[in-house]
Amino acid sequence: MQRKLRNIGIMAHVDAGKTTLTERILFNAGRIHKIGNVDDGNTEMDSRALEQKHGITISAAATSCHWNNTDITIIDTPGHLDFTMEVERSLRVLDSAVAVFSSVAGVEPQSETVWRQAQRFGVPRICFVNKMDLVGANFEKVVTDLASQLSARPLVLQIPIGAESGFVGIVDLIAMKSLVWNNETGHQPVTGNIADDLLDLAHKRRKQLVEQLVELDDTAFETYLEKGDVFNLTTLQKLVRLGCVSGKLHPVLCGSAQGNIGVQPLLDAIAAYCPAPEDRPAVQGTNPETGIQEQRAPSNDAPLSLLVAKVQMSQYGALSFVRVYSGTMRTGDQLLNTATGNRERIGRILRMHANEQTDISEAIAGDVVAIVGLKATASGQTLCHPSAPIVLDGFECPEPVISAVIEPKKAADAQKLGQALARLKTEDPSLRVTTDPETGQTLVAGMGELHLMIALESLKEEHNVEATLGEPRVSYREALTTKGSADYTHRKQNGGVGQMARVHIVLEPTEEPGLHFESKITGGAVPRDYIPAIEKALQAAMNQGELAGYPVLGVQATLVDGAFHSNDSSALAFELATREAFRRAFMEARPVLLEPVMDVIVTVPAEYVGAVMGDLQGRRGRIDNTDTEDGMHEITASVPLANMFSYVNGLRSRTQGRGTFTMAFGNYAPVPHFLETGSKQKAS
């Protein structure tokens, strides 16, 4: 019998109940026998001491369970913006996701972020409206928001029975049955007929459901036109699966993870509707030897290829989490790392359950497992059979928005700090560690204050190194506003072989990030052997702009002319000439200093709106919108990151602890002239 496999991720805004839901899934599937609680710090998935301390998920954790003859691999992802990298690389290797929404808060900012991430990777999604037993629960509003705010096509498979403290179960619109959880039956639902007071609504919702489904299939559509809703359970389930796997529809279910209501039907839906690895498109890659695009089918007999999603340091050494896309991997295999050209031996293959593991002898196409024994393979790199090389597309690593100087509390711990930071950087590519070229100080950069705080605590709790962070620094950028050009000749003669190189370059701003280099040299004015040296020098100049030493955003650099000397020209000479030409062209192009501006949403009671808005404007913020929902006011604003440090403390004091806020990177904007001097001084 063919193995049935589902690889899913649990994703949501912070506090929507992802980890609690994962805990209940494992309990109902018999994977664990005692239900943990996030507030008590004893859940299976939040196994790190820091996660238990803060009550949040920091690292994506993998586990597995069995339900309805189906093996389900689950990755519980963080909900906080600062750890979005964990969501990014998890979604890259998963086949589907369960998007969890609070029935009270609805679609929240990070909900939108993770939804877009899943959309980018083409990951089908099931929606679970959680916390139906809380005051203010509103299932219908969440369904409406899914369509209006996420451009989703919600396919409502269930409606709630009761609301808030009276929520006791759901109506299954596919089977047209009610499922009720009560104290007598414990965690198992009682199946029965739909209550009279819900019958009209159930029939209305069932009609909408069927009309959405028949649009997917011509035969079903003709049947519906001729005979109406005569579809049996099996036919409707096939149509729901078709809509989910294709990504055209997003099934919506509801329940309470905390109350363990609606979790078994969610497991049924995962097994019945989510795609198996073989349902997903063949993975795309590039042959590193020919440069030709190739595909790998999700077959055990295809050439072996796998992507490293995450590297985590453990007592056994580097623990590499991988997705096998094609072929069969066995212990002892020698695989090629197509990024480095080196061979890696597979030591142990592990099936993970949070921080526990089980040894297995092989992993097949579709498996998400961990490997022990890789020496020099990083996140995002491909391992494959040496006879069939391929480079699979990796994942994007977001740019940091905040940095600070980090120093050991004890001078004797300097070396230990460097080693510990290297381990943290290996585990979390979104954490950047650099050295200030002028001061020699170590800088750590990340996605927000919480990200840096957790890194600092990790050093102490997990690496036994105490360190301190200096004042946070904003990651400014520099950009051109117009075209600039420079024609510079570098000459140096000191008795022996001299240096000579002439470079004429044109710089133009572009919305595409990074350096975009083009050579228009004709007639051999600059030998082809020197072109790479020119591009290398341009890239180095981009990394350290001329205004204040910050990286430069998108630049189109065109080499239009040049000259060389048969004896005195060299790659070094052309690099030196290019750096000076870049400096002159850059300054001619009227550069500006840019700062990160954050999208901020503050939720406060009505009596604090004026004070909060005034404070945001005092932080150079622009109020974009205000809205009222259930007596709470939601203020949307754009505020420079430089003015948002420690905002949580100010908000709490102004609202007596009743205000909350979320913050996400919005865009880069020019720094006002009256602040430019201070920003430049901070850079130096």
- Asked whether residue 664 is domain-assigned, the answer is yes
- CATH number assigned to the domain comprising residue 406: 3.30.70.870
Residues 237 and 94 reside in one and the same domain = yes
Distance CA 263, CA 24 (A): 7
- CATH number assigned to the domain comprising residue 367: 2.40.30.10
- Asked whether residue 180 is domain-assigned, the answer is yes
Angle at the Cα of 145 (from 140 to 146), degrees rounded to 5? 100
Is the per-residue pLDDT at 79 higher than 70?
Answer: no
Residue at which a domain ends, from 279, 313, 341: 279
Residue 658 burial (C-beta neighbours within 10 Å; 0-12, 13-18, 19+): middle
In the block, which residue shows the tokens 């096939």?
Answer: 238
Q: For residue 677, name the pLDDT band (cuts at 50, 70, 90).
A: low
Q: How far is CA 137 from CA 106, 160, 178, 616, 659, in A?
A: 9, 10, 20, 30, 20
Residues 579 and 612 reside in one and the same domain = no
Number of domains in the chain: 5
Greater confidence (181 vs 649) lies with 181
- Asked whether residue 297 is domain-assigned, the answer is yes
Residues 549 and 610 reside in one and the same domain = no
Residues 462 and 483 reside in one and the same domain = no
Residues 602 and 581 reside in one and the same domain = no
- Whether the CB-CB separation of 219 and 196 falls below 8 Å is answered with no
- Whether the CB-CB separation of 320 and 307 falls below 8 Å is answered with no
- CATH number assigned to the domain comprising residue 617: 3.30.70.240
- Asked whether residue 181 is domain-assigned, the answer is yes
**Strands 343-345 vs 334-337: parallel, antiparallel or unpaired:** antiparallel
Is the per-residue pLDDT at 16 higher than 90?
Answer: no
Residue at which a domain ends, from 590, 612, 647: 590
Residues 256 and 165 reside in one and the same domain = yes
Is the per-residue pLDDT at 219 higher than 80?
Answer: yes
* Nearest Cα to Cα of residue 328 among 364, 357, 302: 364
Residues 514 and 637 reside in one and the same domain = no
Distance CA 48, CA 312 (A): 12
Residue type, 540: A
Residue at which a domain ends, from 352, 370, 392: 392
Assign 222 to helix, strand or coil. helix
Residues 320 and 336 reside in one and the same domain = yes
- Asked whether residue 607 is domain-assigned, the answer is yes
Q: Which residues contact 400 (CB under 8 A, 6 or more apart)?
A: 430, 431, 432, 445, 446, 447, 475
- CATH number assigned to the domain comprising residue 580: 3.30.230.10
Least confident stretch, 388-392, 544-548, 573-577: 544-548
Mean pLDDT of 595-614: 90
Residues 584 and 605 reside in one and the same domain = no
- Asked whether residue 397 is domain-assigned, the answer is no
Assign 248 to helix, strand or coil. coil
Residue 354 tokens read as: 């949070």
Its domain, for residue 435, covers 402-475
Residues 510 and 464 reside in one and the same domain = no
Least confident stretch, 296-300, 428-432, 514-518: 428-432
Distance CA 230, CA 217 (A): 15
Q: Which residues contact 72 (CB under 8 A, 6 or more apart)?
A: 5, 6, 8, 29, 64, 65, 66, 267, 270, 271
Distance CA 674, CA 684 (A): 18
Residues 444 and 502 reside in one and the same domain = no
- CATH number assigned to the domain comprising residue 121: 3.40.50.300
- Whether the CB-CB separation of 596 and 641 falls below 8 Å is answered with yes
Q: Is the dihedral of CA 85, 87, 90, 96 positive or negative?
A: negative
Residues 181 and 329 reside in one and the same domain = no
pLDDT tens per residue across span 140-167: 999 999 999 888 999 999 999 998 999 9
Confidence (pTM): 0.70
Residues forming a β-bridge with 500:
491
- Asked whether residue 271 is domain-assigned, the answer is yes
Alpha helices in 13-72 (DSSP H): 18-28, 49-54
Q: For residue 18, name the pLDDT band (cuts at 50, 70, 90).
A: confident
